[in-house]
Structure 1
């Protein structure tokens, strides 16, 4: 069975062991066609449980009459471009939810971790504002992006303001009852994760226009750009809530690393094969953008002969057309790229669960975490 080693930079290895999720490297064509599809899964209950508290903390933080804050409230989905209340899409709050869940799973209180949870969501949105500019994306969550509405200079400043507000939010940790030594640990870990995230963003820009990125380079990039903040969110919750922070934090850090991999690889699958009704993007969208996603990097490394030459020709074009997109999809189907990506994500899902095996958690929390991993593996948006 093809699996991932449990290293920070995943590489393939082979072994046999029981599986928590159904995925096989050896399968017939009919099985392979459906490996990454399942009946629609509902959000795990932890998202509904924490959503109101996270939303309230964020609104309190940004409910200020200060320059750029009106743009930030728009980006968070609370108001329209004119500042009127709007029922926008606020996102799933994945990172703050992970933080609060890990804190409570080891016996802590969500109130203690709420300032850190809010900071995580603010930093995540800061990165998205800049990512929109980098990718020239005019919409996100079916709404116009900041730079598309107000221009790049204002969007850049608004993003920077959001990051600074996130830093100031951490000042509330001690008043929320977190011991000073743990506050320092949280601040240091969040700072390091923020730096890693920016490094990943830089690597993503650096790789643009390069048609042959090695898989190892890509995995290192996503471990930073996407994985760092997810790993940090899961870790600092345990640091805040655990009686034995050092022991539990290491387990949550490894589990969070695996979650970051799952999250990005599933994003990459959806960026090519996702349902437009759920993702807001047509099938093959990331091919048309020549995005260095896992499917593209893997296909480029696995293709041979005429297929390899065709891929190189397409990814060296300024603007691939519809026929080019169809050709890439055909080559990827022949190589089993979608199935391979999903299998690797499944193996990391098992690693995420195994990493917490030694952590003392009640049965409900452990089952809820399994539900989360399954949701991330099969989410549709």
Structure 2
């Protein structure tokens, strides 16, 4: 029998690019998790907006077990039934006519950006290579996607970076108009910036990007890795905004925890990815695709999507009540069940402190930068769990407020 593993084991054997929580979850069910000591947590993190149907969903477990007994892997030398069924469902429920499968949001965005440049090369020659993206965006950790993301803290030390990238202010129409031109091959945007602080795009901004891309023969890419698959209250956020991109990327909740991602596009654009131009050994894996197909079937229903709006309001009301008592939030914003609470006063830039303290109260929650709490529960979290999670957040903040006041009083006059 192997030796027991603990949080300390991480520091001993893992590369130190993460700083995980002090506890190790070992079991999950619905919107609750348990750690190695048996302590229970309400999950307001969902694996960073991944487990949108909760942990250990019985229907997902069932289809995965069935596929495990049939076929695990083929590679792209062959196709398989689960991948074909998933691709068909995606083309039937979105604008897309063609689908490319991979394993993560970064890979999907990498594929989208490569396709945009290849499409421009095929149709307009080799000089149309510019990519416009937004400051404080996040599109992945590959060298290409992290460079496109526009957050210097993630690119420091990795130079030389890919070129012909232009980062503009998010939601700034004038900046978009000035940046997008005949040399632009693509504009990539998150309908709701996640890592950048949970900032929803305005409809006017996305409409302007669509207009400018059409004017300059550039492709519009929507990165829906985090907001997609129901979290906005629509299956994909572009449907809620009424603005259709040329390429859309989807991951995270698509597999509810099983690694799978997709790039969606039209026949015309997809034609530039001829045989050999791009690929993925594991993309379209039968296990991943059977799970994702069931995820879409379960989420793309009025019951789930309409329920997002109800839970959004419950969360907003609960956070407003907490703020009425403690005054810690400057603004609560977001879309659907991607909520950001910007901090102020004594809690400015102390989002991580709240996350750590919340864990002690049995609540898992995230940050979006140093000054925003990010709340991304399951789309089907029971109302009782939602209210209990809010109560635990209230208790967390009350404790921190008391500690801050005590420390302040202890300071010499």
Do both proteins adopt the same fold according to a TM-score greater than 0.5, normalized to the shorter chain?
no
Q: Larger radius of gyration, structure 1 or 2?
A: 2
* Greater fraction of residues in helix: 1
TM-score, normalized by length of structure 2? 0.25
Whose strand fraction is larger, Structure 1's or Structure 2's? 2
